[in-house]
Structure 1
Amino acid sequence: MNRIVGIDLGTTNSLVATVDSGIPLVIADAEGQRLTPSVVHFPAPSVDPVVGHAANRVRVLKPAETVYSAKRFIGRRGSEISQEEMLVTYPVKGAAAGAVTIDIHGRNYTPEEISAEVLKKLKRDAEAFIGEPVTRAVITVPAYFNDAQRNATKTAGELAGFTVERIVNEPTAAALAYGLDRLRERSRIAVYDLGGG
């Protein structure tokens, strides 16, 4: 049975982690970076997208072809998106009752498809580190995500080739990471999540 990885699919940055010899470990990519910018650049219609640091570097030069902060749109209808949220450098469309799409090179991408590209990169990084296929993942989401946003995040994971074992609230994952599930006495614990988005 292969390992399950944990993924923080963030608005600004994402990361993938595993447990190695009982120790949680954030996996670095080939360049030694543990944080991957949640940025996807589409250089041309028939060319594979560029993800992460390389995409982030191109963002200033090709803003209309480079998608960032797609997590803000995931699982939401056009009527749920404010005019302020639409102020991004790439074209965002969303009918009142329909899904939000991002038009790049004449193709409409969903936020799930954009997020799947970030997840695919994290999957490749994990496979390179572990040395075997990685097909199972737990993905974190903000505690305020509704069912549609959670399901859309799960869909993104599936598009990336994962079996998504569970969607976990980010504050819950943080509490578990610090061993707060093993406290011996009753305590009040505060978890503060200062994300990039």
Structure 2
Amino acid sequence: MALSTGSNKIKTAIFISGTGSNLKSLIKFSELKKSPIIIKMIISNNSKAKGLKYSKIYKIKKKVFDFKNSLSEKKVINELKENNIDLICLAGFMKILSKSFINNFKGKILNIHPSLLPKYKGLNTHEKAIKNNDKYSGCTVHFVNSKLDSGRIINQKKVRIKKLDTPKTLAKRVLMQEHKLYPAAIMKILSL
């Protein structure tokens, strides 16, 4: 990845749609001395996303866009370019980005997904893993390309599925691993 580290931290935008628990863990990670990123923006497609509160708490610029058409995507792209954003981390962002958006930031968009890709792309991953009697579920950080949850995998973490697991209990344990995996993935690609 052709991103410069050194004393200049990489200007990063986090895209969220919900509670922002991965956003919070990435903010905490960005505050560490060893962290190669600085979070400059929080972008959401949902004005009621609970995670937007972190913009106030940590004094990070926030913007809400509807992502309904190419015009609103152009506004997002302009906003990201005006703020010199070099890395985009999707963290529970529930919109599919267009091919044109992805091409504008080729190789600079990461996503965290709650399954061991290539298994269970899309939604309801925990239900699918339990229903299929899988021994493990987990999470994956990958580069974003124009196919849903199909970009090159950066790293993964397995989580054992317990006999009495429900999608909710499994989701909770997987989420704990996501909070560790995302920073590790960022360190991995930015130290290449």
TM-score scaled by length of structure 2: 0.32
Task: Specify which structure has the higher proportion of helix.
Answer: 2
Normalising by structure 1, report the TM-score: 0.32
Q: Which has the larger radius of gyration?
A: 1
